[in-house]
Chain A
Amino acid sequence: MTNHWVDLKHADVVMVLGANPAENHPVGFLWALEARRRRGATIISVDPRFTRTSAVADLYAPLRPGTDIAFIGGLIHLALETGRFHRDYVVNYTDASYLVDEGFEFRGGLFTGYRPQTRSYDKATWKYQVDEEGKLLRDPTLGHPRTVFQLMRAHYRRYDPDTVSSVTGMPKETFLRVADAFLAAAAPDKTGTIMYAMGTTQHTVGSQNVRAYAMLQLLLGNVGRPGGGVNALRGLSNVQGSTDLGMLFHTLPGYLPTPSEATHPDLAAYDATTPGGYWVNRPRFLVSLLKAFWGQHATPENDFAYDHLPKLRAGKDYSHIALFEDMYDGKLRGLFCFGQNPACSGPNAGKEAKALERLDWLVSVDVFENETAGFWKRPGVDPAAIKTEVFLLPAAHVFEKSGSVTNSGRLIQWRWKAVEPPGDARPDLWIVHNLALRLRAAYARSQRAEDAPIRHLTWDFGPAENPDPEKVAAEINGYRVGTREQLDSFGALQADGSTAAGCWIYTGYHGSKGNRAAARELDDPGEMGNYPGWGFAWPLNRRVLYNRASADPDGRPWAPDKAVIWWDAGQGRWVGHDVPDFVPTRAPTDPGGRSPFIMLAEGVGRNFAAGMAEGPFPEHYEPYESPVSNALNPVPLNPAVKIWTGEGNERGDASEFPVVASTWRLTEHQHSGAVTRRQTRLAELVPEPFVELSPSLAEARGIRSGDWVVVRSARGQARARALVTPRIQPLAVNGRVVEQVGLPWHWGFLGLVTGDIANVLTPHIGDANTMIPEYKAFLCDVRRAEGV
């Protein structure tokens, strides 16, 4: 989240799309309800089906899965054409006034520079114009035809309300009502927030969906302001912490890019790709990370052990789908699964379970034996024919260990162990700790260069039996090498090897004042709901990112009731109720004093983002499996996604699979149900898998509520009970009626209550930038189950 949960209470309008917080984030959603109670905020729920969030919303708008960009593009179009955008904000705080390269254009569904052989772009023209001195060319009137603003206008002119309605299936009247409600947040004294989750991201255009939200929010002047922002609702208590600490293949801790063999062969080459803005400090963060990893073995002479870092191979990605494709092809020998259950939660889960059969060994660390640990005894297979050796390590559950979690609002909060874990169960930290210690001992006498990263590892987290999470926290935070003085700001990190920090963005959370994640003070300056003494929000305990933008160019809050920081000329610094996301003494009149987006070289928000794989502006492309052709351009599928072919990657066609499907979650269960399907009181509430479908589809297929049905896709089939409800409606798309269904994916073959795995239906295809799988839009058919 750019903002945080409590901050939702400042919103004048809340748009929830690609998320269902009343069910999946019921505690945080309280603050959206608070916004309505206190400010009369309008809550909008945009969702393929009418959810428990829709039930308490003021406005509900149905949307065909996979058409968010068409919808948001329509809002951008209306904002620009009717003047409902925050002009002062847009001119001063975004790139709307910048001129774009004359060679850049969008034609025939593609941006300039497309290379069909590699399904990628040559981005040579995706750039701003500069003068002879390299200064960016601007037109603050926004009238120049090459401004980002005018190019954006031209780009989204096709996204008129009729077309939007035809693509998304959202009735035009509903679309216009939503537009009126949300674009009201363009008023300088109003803010609107966007809450999204996996319904947004799990698409072949997932990243561009989020980009579209960001652009809309920039146009309405809603970023960096209380009650505004682009707010990702994380699907687990510590997903934010996992990504912060580099659990994704393309980042090291603190969102430093993973080096690649081709472009970053050595430290100098890595540093040569350092971007502008605050990121100019990246070399300090990387060297401090290397010092945290390899301590005294990281020296200026050996590039701080940069060579120890694994590098991405050219043309390879190491995302979930890619790993399982390689596993299926027999290229991986072993797998560690910590609290993960890909046999249920992976896309194309049937193929992924088969892939597990090709492993020599599998280690599953979980509270229970989940379907991944038990894949060898899944229905329909002969355990004797599977040679994979499976190790099941019992893990401690949340109340059986101490440590921190980082929530959606970047808030790091410590948790304390309440009870001892049962039996042989151990915290994940204990398991990793002992693995590391034993590996280090095993390699201690090795002279081979490739073993050096293990031999040289700094690993000072306590005795084998009792690793101390506070020691881990202290290393993540960072310290001065030698004195071991804990640091309070990443501003103190150095590139000369004098500092170490395991994750620069966390610096300060375990600094000179001790463990601030464990702080529980209830002071609330200005009653903004920031509670700076409760836990620690990265970076530097900032609660609202980009908060310089909450004030106008001269440093006065845009809205008096949403004053979070402002310029105090007397004191000569930014003051207020949050830690400024800005140089605290940089006056509005100073160079850069009006550029709130300090992480970017140009200091303003980007409507034109050349970093994206498939184009600087989000463009609508249909999902991998779609019942209709693309009505907005001639290109059916995101032209930059990788298409996985080969065994088990069948692609469904609408002639055989006419129904649009999505997967979703229920409040009563969590993820694959590995834990919740073993809780008797939760299993009682939702015991069996079901599929939600409209009364019209049910009638056409002769299905009654409660019947067993079979949902089939090109990749597999799952049995489920029919839930026939008018909360699901067929949608009018491109002049025809498209039926849609959705399945909660909480079931598997182990546990107190069991059922078929919904993800056997979903495909192996991912987003062009992040490779996140497209779980949320695919084709299927639904029939009554015979003989049940």
Chain B
Amino acid sequence: MAEVSKLVDVTRCVGCRGCMVACKEWYELPGEWQQARFEGGYESARGTLGYHRWVNVQFYELPDRGQEPPGWFFRKHQCMHCGEPACVAACPVDALYPTPEGVINLDQDACIGCRYCESACPFGIPQYEPERRKVSKCIMCYDRILEGLEPICVKTCPGGALMFGDRGRIMAEAEARLATVAARFPEARIYSPAGVGGTRSVYLLPGPPELFGLPVGPQVPASVTFWQTVAKPLGTAAVGAALATTAVAAVIQRRMNGGDKGAGGGRGDPSGQRDRAAGEGE
């Protein structure tokens, strides 16, 4: 399959949050209603991703050039699927890896919970869960993609704000949409920043990225680059030695001893996450 991408058109999103629910339905992630409280606006969970929430729609009330009331925009936040993924570079066990289609997949069974990806990611995507000592994130429905299906969020989106397909086609669509919204949003732009090698989650933004909680010029951190080019090739044994004094060493050790009984399943599933999530239920 050729390289794929997903367009997130913020000029067209109506903020219905159907994508959030659909994602949880597909991956059988639990609804976290017990902890939920009203937070002063339409957003829930402080507008953040979570271990069980790989997609979140963030609400932005923005001053509309002197007009009252302000403009109101909705940005679906999820993994950006970078062309030069810092998380992949940082991952010592290759639990995170790019697929030939450009998706950054996550093998949760392989994850050792070292949280390097979390600190490496310029977009704050990987979400760590201390009890499981795992991270989770959007994998662009890689399981569905392999079956010729579009990601579940795209399938659910009622307003045409999400689109999925061949990267060339998606970038052309983004350009075409940019042209049609230019009159309404003079500062509209396409967001697929080069500093991280371009992203497979491509935004059409109505204005500058900083207004929508996105970094202006994200880069792969230098430390990660060093790690990837120098330290990581030395191999797993060297990793263990290098991390001997850190907390994650214990995790690695326990995992190597087969003590992590929570792991298991998912091998036959290309997502590596499906069975795990299913086991958690509600």
Instruction: Check if A and B associate.
Output: yes
Q: Which residues in window 17-49 of B have CB below 8 A to A?
A: 17-18, 20-21, 24-25, 30-33, 36-42, 44-45
Distance between Cα atoms of A686 and B37 in the complex (Å): 8
A680 with B158: CB separation less than 8 A: no
A26 with B72: CB separation less than 8 A: no
Distance between Cα atoms of A722 and B40 in the complex (Å): 7
Binds B, one of A610-618, A640-648, A723-731: A723-731
Binds B, one of A53-61, A247-255, A428-436, A523-531: A53-61
Please pick, from B20, B41, B159, B180, the residue contacting A29 in the complex, using a CB distance under 8 A: B159
Distance between Cα atoms of A22 and B282 in the complex (Å): 30
Chain B binding surface SS class: loop
Please pick, from B16, B70, B282, the residue contacting A667 in the complex, using a CB distance under 8 A: B16
Distance between Cα atoms of A688 and B21 in the complex (Å): 18
A55 with B38: CB separation less than 8 A: no
Given contacts A26-B14, A33-B12, A753-B36, contact A726 B31 (CB under 8 A): no
- What number of B residues sit within 8 Å (CB to CB) of A? 38
B160 touches A (CB below 8 Å): yes
A contact residues around B212 at 8 Å (CB): none
* Binary per-residue interface labels of chain A (45-67) against chain B in the complex, 1 for a CB within 8 Å, 0 otherwise: 00000101111101010000000
A668 with B17: CB separation less than 8 A: yes
Q: Which residues in window 628-658 of A have CB below 8 A to B?
A: none
Please pick, from B16, B24, B37, B160, the residue contacting A23 in the complex, using a CB distance under 8 A: B16
B69 touches A (CB below 8 Å): yes
Given contacts A50-B72, A52-B72, contact A680 B33 (CB under 8 A): yes
A727 with B70: CB separation less than 8 A: yes
A683 touches B (CB below 8 Å): yes
Instruction: Kindly report which residue of chain A lies nearest to residue B177, judged by CB atoms.
Output: A37
A684 touches B (CB below 8 Å): yes
Distance between Cα atoms of A439 and B31 in the complex (Å): 44
Please pick, from A34, A683, A722, the residue contacting B33 in the complex, using a CB distance under 8 A: A683
Distance between Cα atoms of A54 and B71 in the complex (Å): 9
Which residue among A687, A722, A723 has the maximum number of chain B CB atoms within 10 Å of its CB? A687
A contact residues around B70 at 8 Å (CB): 726-727
B40 with A683: CB separation less than 8 A: no
Instruction: Kindly report which residue of chain A lies nearest to residue B160, judged by CB atoms.
Output: A30
A contact residues around B72 at 8 Å (CB): 50, 52, 54-55, 727
B contact residues around A107 at 8 Å (CB): none
B37 with A685: CB separation less than 8 A: no
A680 with B282: CB separation less than 8 A: yes
Chain A binding surface SS class: mixed
A267 touches B (CB below 8 Å): no
A237 touches B (CB below 8 Å): no
A contact residues around B33 at 8 Å (CB): 680-681, 683-684, 687, 752-753
Q: How far is the CB of B182 from chain A (nearest CB, A)?
A: 12
B166 touches A (CB below 8 Å): no
B160 with A33: CB separation less than 8 A: yes
B contact residues around A56 at 8 Å (CB): 12-14, 159
Distance between Cα atoms of A752 and B34 in the complex (Å): 8
B37 with A682: CB separation less than 8 A: no
Q: How far is the CB of B41 from chain A (nearest CB, A)?
A: 6
Binding site for A on B (CB under 8 A): 12-18, 20-21, 24-25, 30-33, 36-42, 44-45, 61, 68-74, 158-160, 180, 184, 282
Binding site for B on A (CB under 8 A): 22-23, 26-27, 29-30, 33-34, 37, 50, 52-56, 58, 60, 666-668, 679-688, 690, 705-706, 721-729, 752-753
> Can you name 6 extra interface pairs (CB under 8 A) apart from A682-B31, A688-B37, A752-B33?
A22-B15, A29-B14, A29-B159, A680-B31, A685-B21, A726-B69
Q: List 18 A-B contacts (CB under 8 A).
A: A22-B16, A27-B158, A29-B14, A33-B159, A50-B69, A50-B72, A52-B15, A55-B71, A55-B73, A668-B17, A681-B33, A684-B32, A685-B21, A706-B39, A723-B42, A727-B69, A753-B33, A753-B36
